[in-house]
Copies of this chain bind each other. A is one copy, B any other.
């Protein structure tokens, strides 16, 4: 072919990748409302962003819209899910079953979005007994074995700050390539491992810049 179509090997900026799940979420809401088509303008209004940005973002992955009408929602959701890696199911483990860990385990929101928590680990295995629905709480010594047995491919870290880097190193060593870290540290991971930090303190602290007087 002469004019090659948009293909999967083209580089997509990280910011764009991060916005796709947001689009998916809103599109799914729109589906629930019974809508079947949405324009970039309306989607933009919904998210307080420009329609141009939405069109540009989507254009990295293909042509999903129809001129004069907009995007067929169901079709677009389907495509975006595949693009962003939600075509497959992900098995997650959680390390650290303190108060936060327990809240995460019991949060019902992960599973419907494609992330099934299939095991929990804690160095102090008294912290939580089989309370949560069928998620086993195991000692750290079972980590390696369980990751393989249950095909775990992402990990959630909710251990205290001082232990976090050690735990992350261990997870990386065991082959985990995606980590969601709740510990308030700036973790180091090798290339090829993706890590995301959930850090409410940092969020608050950068907010105050805009709130302080003077």
Size of the A side of the interface (Cβ < 8 Å), in residues, is 59
Q: Is A87 an interface residue (CB 8 A)?
A: yes
On chain B, the residues within 8 Å of A84 by CB distance are: 205-206, 208-209
Contact assessment for B99 and A208 in the assembled complex, using a CB-CB cutoff below 8 Å: no
Contact assessment for B212 and A88 in the assembled complex, using a CB-CB cutoff below 8 Å: yes
On chain B, the residues within 8 Å of A214 by CB distance are: 8
* Interface bits A25-50 vs B (CB < 8 Å: 1, else 0): 11000000000000000000011100
On chain B, the residues within 8 Å of A25 by CB distance are: 184, 186, 202
CB within 8 Å of B: which residues of A? 8, 12, 17-18, 20-22, 24-26, 46-48, 83-88, 90, 92, 99-100, 102-104, 106-107, 109-110, 113-115, 153-154, 156, 177-178, 180, 184, 186, 188, 194, 196, 198, 200-212, 214
